[in-house]
Structure formats: C-alpha cells, structure tokens
Structure 1
C-alpha cells in the first residue's frame, strides 16, 4: 500500500507541475495532493508544514483569478481582454504547443480588446498587461509546484 501511495503521490506531483503550464489542470492543488499521499504513506511532514502549504495553495488559487485581471486593468484593458487571454491560452495549448502557450494569450487578449471596440494601440497595450499578468501567475504556480516536488523527492529518496 505504501508503494502505491508513493507512486500516486509522484504522479500527482508531475501532473501538478504540468498543470502549472496548462490552464485546464489545477496544478498546485494536484501537487499538494501528492504531498498528502506521501504523508499518508510515510508520515514525512509536520502538521504545520501541511497547513502552511494548504494556505499557499489556496492563496495561489485566489491569485490565479485576480492577477490576470489586475494586469489587464492596470494596462487599461477590459473583461474582453481577460477572457480573450484565457481562451487564447487554451487554443494555443491545444493547437500550437508549446509556442501557443506564449502567443495564444497575447493574441487572444488583443482580439478580445479589438472586439470590445478598442483601437489597435489600446488593444495591444491591454493585451500586454493581460499577458504579463498571466506570465506572473504561471511563474508563481511553477515555483510552488517545483518546491512541493522538491519536498516530495527529498522525503522519498
């Protein structure tokens, strides 16, 4: 049973890290499940450690919705730009990986702002803000998932 939990935890860590890049997979919560599986298997972590990481995961999930919108608003964008960025990322991941993960959100936010009636210059500025927010958010998830993966690996090996 212990081996199955460790393998399941490792799979969660890997899926969580991949989910940091892919908008359809909740990366940090899945990576946290990997830590929980390891905890059930070998009792590696303190309660404080697990609670702190649970709070970090919750904070990242909240910021996941706030940061792209903040970036768009800060650069004068609208909800169309935020939605365009998210849809562009999804389309980019599906149709043009891996470059689509970078180009898709930018193109989607730009298209969304054009649909909202912005001029080309204003749409580009808003798209850059949305894209910057998305990059910050993705980096935050990658770092958190990577650190959880580190703690998992250290406690397995």
Structure 2
C-alpha cells in the first residue's frame, strides 16, 4: 500500500510540473494533491502546518494564475473590457480543442474586448500582447511553485525513505 501511495503521489507531482506548461492541467493544485497523498502513507507523520501552508500557497497561486493575464492586459493600456476579454479567452483556451489555444484565445479575447471598447487596432493589439506576456509570466510562476513543491516532496521522501521501504 505504501508503494502505491508513493507512486500515485509521484505521478501527481509530475502532472503538476507538466501542468505549469500545459494549462489544461491545474499544475499547482495537482502538485499539492501529490504532497497530500504522500502524507497519507502509513508511517509518515501528518504535518498539518506543512500541508496548510502549502495549501494556502497553492490556492493563492492558482488564483493568481487566472488573474495575471488580465493584469498584463491592463498594464499595456487595456481597458476593463480588454481584461474581461482576456479572462474569457483564457477560460475558452483551456477547453478549446485546437493546438496552442491557451496562448491564442486570451490574445484574441483581449483584442476583441478592446475593439468592443472602441479602441483602435493598435491599442487593441498592444493590450492583447500584454495578455500574452501575462500568460507567460503566470506559467513561469506556476512552474517555479510546482518545482518547489517537487523539491519539498523529494526532501520529505528522503526523510522518510526508511519507513517507506
């Protein structure tokens, strides 16, 4: 049973890291679930402080991952409609069945939002580019957090290796 839980936890950790690049997967929450499953292994002491702090970090970064593309739109001169368009585009991009939808849809959403706001195409393009940069920034941030969770997982695994094996 210990090995099954360890393997499942490791799979969740790897899915979390992959999720930082593949926006279809929620990277940080998957990594946190991997940490939780690790602590469910019999013999590994439950560390509520560790799990609570990492859960708070996971929730915070998951929310930021949804907000940052819209903030990038605003930073590059986008309006409220552009920010809403970028957010809607991001949500559509997550579920769209075509390649690179997660990169294209927020850009298109911000552009359409700016056009609906009666901005010229230059301003709309600039705001859409800001959305794209925000998406890249949030993906990089998510990778850093999931990688940190993976390092914590490996450290905890190393600490409890005698109990598990």
Matches of 2:46 and 2:58 in 1, distance apart? 16
1:20-31 equivalences under 5 Å are: 20-31=20-31
Question: Greater CA radius of gyration, 1 or 2?
Answer: 2
Going from structure 1 to structure 2, the CA distance change for 1:39 and 1:92 (only over 3 Å counts) comes to closer
Aligned: 1:12 with 2:12 = yes
Residue equivalent to 1:123? 124
1:49-128 equivalences under 5 Å are: 49-82=50-83, 84-85=85-86, 87=89, 90=93, 94-97=97-100, 102=103, 105-128=106-129
Matches of 2:135 and 2:129 in 1, distance apart? 10
Q: Which runs of 5+ in 1 are unaligned?
A: none
Residue equivalent to 1:40? 40
Going from structure 1 to structure 2, the CA distance change for 1:93 and 1:80 (only over 3 Å counts) comes to same
SS of alignment partner, residue 49 of structure 1: helix
Matches of 1:130 and 1:39 in 2, distance apart? 38
Going from structure 1 to structure 2, the CA distance change for 1:15 and 1:127 (only over 3 Å counts) comes to same
Q: How many residues align?
A: 155
Residue equivalent to 2:163? none
Matches of 2:53 and 2:59 in 1, distance apart? 10
* TM-score using structure 1 length: 0.79
Q: Which runs of 5+ in 2 are unaligned?
A: 159-165
Going from structure 1 to structure 2, the CA distance change for 1:52 and 1:143 (only over 3 Å counts) comes to same
* TM-score using structure 2 length: 0.75
Task: Give the RMSD, CA atoms, in angstroms.
Answer: 2.8
SS of alignment partner, residue 24 of structure 1: coil
Deviation sequence 1:88-112 (CA, Å, 0-9, x none): 6827984335xx6555543553344
Matches of 2:72 and 2:126 in 1, distance apart? 10
Q: Tell me if the contact between 1:9 and 1:33 (Cα under 8 Å) persists in the aligned partners.
A: yes
Residue equivalent to 2:147? 146
